[in-house]
Structure 1
Amino acid sequence: MSYSIPENLIEEIRDASDIVDVISEFVSLRKRGKNYVGLCPFHSEKTPSFTVSSENQMFYCFGCGTGGNVYTFLMKYHGYGFVDAVKTLAERAGILLPAEKDISPADREKLNLRKRLFAVNDLACSYFGFSLKQPAGSEARKYLEHRGISMSSVDNFKLGWADSQKDSLCSFLQKRGFSKKEITLAGLGQTCQNGNLIDCFRSRLMFPISDYKGRVIGFGGRVLGQGEPKYLNTGETELFRKSNVLYGLHTAIPAIRSSGFAVIVEGYTDVISAHQSGVCSVIASLGTALTREQAKLLRRYTEKVIIAYDSDTAGAAATLRGMDILSQSRFEVRIALVPSGQDPDNFIKSKGGDAFLELVKGKSLSLVEYKLEQACKKFDLTSVSGRLSAVNEVIPTLVRLENEVERVEYIKMVSRRLSLSYDAVFEEVAKYARKLQKNGSKGDKIEKNRYTRGRVFSPAVPPFQGPEHTLVWAVVCNPGILIRIENEIGLDNFSEPYLRELLYIIKDRLEDEKDIEPISLIECVSLEDTKRFISHMSLKESILSGDSPGALEKNILSAKKRILERKINTKQEQLFQAQKSGDLGLQRKYLQDIDELCRLKDNIHNTGNKPFERGE
């Protein structure tokens, strides 16, 4: 179901939502000059680097590089989608969104059903919570006490009890006005042959499962006595898909943001025990099979994950699968080695929360270290074939490392651990990388478009300095110079993908006669670095605005010179490869290209107004 909000209404809602007032509800801000500053909610810091501009209606953190407008803030802080952020601010500002009469009948029916399913799950959660505190819930209360789960945790995680009667919940829900269809579609009841409803959960300790907004969407039930299965989850529904949910995420989001990492465990009680002990950035994957959808959801809140699955064989296998999924989603991944025979819950019970925090933060292993240890246990290292097999287990992880220094150090570690020469291991890694490059890596998706040109880039906080950056911002401040920049330099010649994206967005908006204000541009771009660039430059003082002809000329010449230098370097690398292959024809061609580029560079000050050739 799609829901479209007119652009003029998006602007109206944004204009009615002062960014300082909105952010002040979540961050303590104080005035500094014409801006406001506070501790960044997106990374841990002691000195405020988070800046909010009332004048520009933008925010930017000079520590972690996160920035944007009021919509961006809500999306990053709460993990909202854009439409949810707009709806939240519309309600806050008292602005009515398009009436549901504009939605098709089918979509309206689907929307109404979702509302009813949220409502029936919420009521069922309250019913289970009430039942836990009744005499029938005494067995469950004794179990929770035995497991060391406090009543405060029971309330925080909304634990409950499903009694043994076959239809007590369904009967209650029907009396409250919910239909048989709604109850069955929520996964709470099932129809018998006689047409009556019976409860899906009976004689079970109930763990409500919430989405990232804290809305109950399903349940997990644990049998306390004899019975199978031990754990029973809500089946797939309109609201609940096990592969898309992380247990405890809504509760953990503030701690994940402040600590900068999330800890993934297997079970409900692992999460509850960790939070109860003060380690609140812990979530569970609802079983051992971490999915790409769960990784995508978690990526909204952090880029660092520590896996702390059980130490048994199934837990180790799940750890390896989870590592691969997370690393392919470009997380920094570490693995906490829970002692043999224990899970995070009983480890915390015996050692305490501080020991668990030390386990996940201070003693966790990197991807390479963990895979190497697992490989050493798996293969016979006394034989050459065993050591080679162990190397092959680790090589894919080594190839995926983006930092060259880090890769070299890990290759040294692997070679020492397996008693192999550094050069031999390095060559095997290089051979695997060449094979991936030739066949196309299935693990790493590289988006190719006019902005990225297939490049893989991941700067944490780009410096946003130099003539190209200054020129692009001059275009933002004075769009009239875009045609000159395009004619004399060419938009595709700018080095950074985010600069190219912004220039093309400005060009498109000029053609559509739309405004080029930074606060509007940030809603149109897709690359995170583009959003950071706009936010950073909006809050940076004394930036070239295009009003100084001398400064503009100087930056155009400097940008041309740097672009030519990059092209010369590229041609020199191509020449080197041609010399290695012995291709004399290519060598002559690249030498001619280099001569021409050097001539252009030498004459740059005399031919500053000459455009680049598009084919170069």
Structure 2
Amino acid sequence: MNDMKEIIDEIKARCDIASIISDYIKINPSGGNYKGLCPFHVEKTPSFYINTSKQIYKCFGCGEGGDVINFIMKIENLDFMDAVKLLASRCGIDINFNMDEDTKKKIELSKKYQDIHVEAARFYYAQLMKSKNRGYDYLRNRGLDDKTIKSFGLGFAPDGWSSLIDYLTENKGYSIEELMECGLAGKSTKYEDRYYDKFRNRVMFPIFDYRGNVIGFGGRVLDDSLPKYLNSPDTLIFNKRHNLYGLNFARKNIKDRTLILVEGYMDLISLNQYGIKNTVATLGTAITQQQASLIKRYADVVIISYDSDEAGIKAAIRAIDILQKEGLSARVLNLSDAKDPDEYVRKYGVANYNKAVKESIERTKFRIDIMKRDFDIDNGEDAIKFARKAANLIKSIKSPVEIDYYAGYVGKIAGIDVESIKKEIYGKSYTANRKSGKNNTSLKNEKIHIEKMSAIEHGEENTEALLLKSMLEKRDIREIASLKLDYDDFISEDAQKVFKEILEYDSKEESERIDIKEINIPENYMNLLQKTEISAIDIFNRKEVEEMIRNVKKNGMKNKMESLVVKQAELETKRKSLGSEQKTELKEVDVEIMNIALQIVEMNKRLRSL
């Protein structure tokens, strides 16, 4: 089979979605379909439904849905092509895309080089375990157990001149030229036709690609030789700028699309042994744009957990810039008095490390905190210089909510009035609002409440009712809405219930139109739906239908933002009532205010993209 569409259609035809999903979760019959507990969010009551006639799944709790390929992409954390390949192998489909001879040779050579690396990894592991040598002692002294050593395939390169070369050429039949191409062997400059192992007297760390193929090695020296760490050179199958150590383990353990980024092999392996598995590491270099792009496939938030020394701090600042360019949210973990994540988790334990992850510092706050170290804040002149430099940093922020938060943060550190900081940020165009905070908050809450109630009672509730009435009339609209909306996109609780009822009914029945009496609708909302006229909408026009769905989503998002603004204002008022001695509570309130601010910023971005 050579045609991509043909292959995908055949995969969908052969791979029964219920059978595939049942390999991952327990499902039970529900009418002619199946249901179970959603694997993508925590729930006690099943809201995950599989429609066998349409060969699709939908969770009415978290909104995830799609076909069998979508499911594999999500559950296995794979991109589209790798999900297609996985399903093809499961159902016995041979994928042979049309390709020229050079491409075929390159693929065959890549496979051969991967095989060589697997054999090398087995050799290094055997050397480590058979004699319990210096390499084994080093790993055990670093706190690793045999199970972890085996899981990561750790090994030891003997101190001999050509131990690996002899094994791979004499026992496995590979040529010296192939070993050189793989970066495992080098040629002597002194003796003609003499070759040597690139890795000698080193603890060996196999480097896997995200699918779990061995593509290179990192080796740590056990004496004073330099370099301390040596990585494989770039080869046909390995480029350190494009790969992340540990991603093959992390991609199946990512929660809330959050990854922890560390610097070294041992940091990652140690955290994994303690159960912190959503962790990746750069390969001996500062993070690259290509690595950030790879992370973006799996995560939206990156917790930077680098060493706490000056070099680690500078590396964290560089990482923030690169991750930010890729559209990732970067936060920095405070290691307290530990020099690296490995030492922290051994000294303070997993619970405290997880707590530090939750309390990790947002990127701008981290930059301000680092900037503060260059100034004597108790000195008036230094405090002013710090405030000006920090204000210049804050100027680059686009969100007014974030600017407002950080202006207050800098003002508190420098002991300077927040209005002065804002004038420094905005320049002459800034006009301060000097009304009392209490009255402003009260008026703001009241205004938002009135606007919200008015909207619910009129436009927004009618928009929701119009969509739901249209969904009752036409199956196509139900299918589009199920993929583009979640029940909590609706503002009215009654509308949320009706949306869920309609989709659950539709998953069991094949009818074009749903009788309003067939589903459970609250009496008051039933009256509203019966009064709602859909004649003004052309329900056969896809653009009009999608615009109606978009309006519901926009209204729901605006409603959530308004609720967050009210909550933020309440917290600001609470903060003003706390005394300086209530440090713990002040910190908790500050963190909550910041989290809300970031949520508002994210929602604004999504709102603009609709």
When normalised by structure 2's length, the TM-score is 0.69
**Which residue of 117, 140, 143 corresponds with 2:138?**
143
- Aligned-partner residue type, residue 236 of structure 1: D
User: What's the offset of the Cα at 1:280?
Assistant: 2.0
The letter of the residue matching 2:27 is: L
Match of 1:305 in 2: 302
TM-score between the two structures when normalised by the length of structure 1: 0.68
**C-alpha separation between the residues in 1 aligned to 2:92 and 2:237?**
28
Correspondence for 1:392:
392
Give a deviation string over 1:178-233, Cα, whole Å, max 9, x none: 22332222211123352343211011000111111111111100001120000000
One-letter amino acid of the counterpart of residue 183, structure 2:
G
1:360-509 pair list within 5 angstroms: 360-361=357-358, 363-381=359-377, 382-383=380-381, 384-396=384-396, 398-399=397-398, 401=399, 405=401, 408-426=404-422, 466=464
Pick closer, same or farther for the CA change 1:108–1:165 going to 2, 3 Å: same
> Structure 1 residues 330 and 29, CA, compared in 2 at 3 Å: closer, same or farther?
farther
The alignment partner of 1:352 has SS state of helix
Match of 2:151 in 1: 156
Does 1:265 find its partner at 2:247?
no
* Counterparts of 1:163 and 1:433, CA distance in 2: 69
Deviation track 1:356-398 (CA, whole Å, cap 9, x = no partner) reads 222222x3222232122112113454322331012223443x4
Q: Distance in 1 between matches of 2:427 and 2:91?
A: 59
Three-state SS of the structure 2 residue aligned to 1:555 is coil
Q: Is the 2:262–2:279 Cα contact (8 Å) retained in structure 1?
A: yes
SS of the aligned residue for 1:206 comes to strand
Greater displacement, 55-64 / 113-122: 55-64
- 1:73 aligns with 71
The answer (yes or no) to whether the contact 2:388–2:424 under 8 Å persists in 1 is: no
Matches within 5 A, 1:483-562: 541=505, 553-556=535-538
SS at match of 2:58: strand
| Residue matched to 2:188 | 192
In structure 2, the gaps of 5 or more residues are: 431-460, 490-499, 516-531, 552-610
Q: Please tell me the residue identity of whatever aligns with 1:186.
A: C
What RMSD over aligned residues (CA atoms) do the two structures have, in Å? 4.0
Deviation at 1:287, TM superposition (A): 3.3
- Aligned residues of 2:387 and 2:421 also touching (Cα < 8 A): no
Provide, for residues 281-308 of structure 1, a one-character-per-residue CA deviation record: whole Å limited to 9, x for no partner.
2221223512222222222333222111
CA deviations 1:465-493 (Å, max 9, x no partner) are 848977998999569xxxxxxxxxxxxxx
Task: Output the amino acid matched with 1:378.
Answer: D
Report the equivalent of 2:179.
183
Offset of 1:313 from its aligned partner?
0.6
Name the counterpart of 1:108: 104
Q: Secondary structure at the match of 1:195?
A: coil
**Is the Cα contact below 8 Å between 2:473 and 2:514 reproduced in 1?**
no
**CA pair 42-392 structure 1, distance change in 2 beyond 3 A:** farther
Task: Answer whether contact 2:209 2:248 (CA < 8 A) is retained.
Answer: yes
Q: How far, CA to CA, are the matches of 2:428 and 2:39 in structure 1?
A: 41
Where does residue 93 of structure 1 map in the other structure?
91
Q: Deviations over 1:73-93 (max 9, x none)?
A: 222333333222222212211
Cα separation, 2, equivalents of 1:469 and 1:299: 34
**Structure 1 residues 377, 474: closer, same or farther in 2, change over 3 A?**
farther
Q: Which has the bigger relative contact order, CA under 8 A and spacing at least 6?
A: 1
Code of the aligned partner of 1:315 = G
Output the amino acid matched with 1:337.
N
Identity %: 32
2:57 aligns to what SS in structure 1? strand
Aligned-partner SS, 2:365: helix
**Cα distance, 1:109 vs structure 2:** 0.5
Match of 2:139, SS state, is helix
In structure 1, how many angstroms separate the alpha carbons of the residues matched to 2:473 and 2:429?
Answer: 40
Return the letter of the residue paired with 2:111.
K
**Structure 1 pair 288–234 and aligned structure 2 pair: CA distance change class (3 A):** closer
Which moved further from structure 2: 342-351 or 173-182?
173-182
- The verdict on how the C-alpha distance between 1:55 and 1:408 changes in structure 2, with shifts beyond 3 A counting, is farther
Q: Distance in 2 between matches of 1:273 and 1:338?
A: 15
Q: What letter corresponds to residue 189 of structure 1 in structure 2?
A: A
Residues 553 and 472 of structure 1: CA distance in aligned 2, closer, same or farther (over 3 Å): closer
Contact 2:394–2:406, Cα closer than 8 Å, also in 1: no
2:246 corresponds in structure 1 to 248
Deviation string, structure 1 residues 440-459 (Cα, Å, up to 9, x no partner):
xxxxxxxxxxxxxxxxxxxx
* Superposed displacement of residue 116, structure 1: 0.5
Q: Who is 1:18 aligned against?
A: 16
1:215-267 deviation per Cα after TM superposition (whole angstroms, max 9, x unaligned): 1111100001120000000111122111222211212233223x652211111
Match of 2:319 in 1: 322
Q: Structure 1: where are the runs of 5+ without partners?
A: 435-462, 480-498, 500-516, 523-527, 567-616
Whole-angstrom CA distance in 2 between matches of 1:113 and 1:238: 8
Q: Secondary structure at the match of 1:387?
A: helix
Distance 1:246 1:552, change over 3 A: same
Determine whether 1:358 maps to 2:340: no
Which residue does the alignment assign to 1:236?
234
8 Å Cα contact 2:245-2:281 kept in structure 1:
yes
Bigger shift: residues 83-92 or 223-232: 83-92
C-alpha displacement at 1:63, in angstroms? Answer: 4.0
Q: Residues 547 and 34 (structure 1 numbering): CA distance in 2 closer, same or farther, change over 3 Å?
A: closer
Structure 1 stretch displaced more, 413-422 or 51-60: 413-422
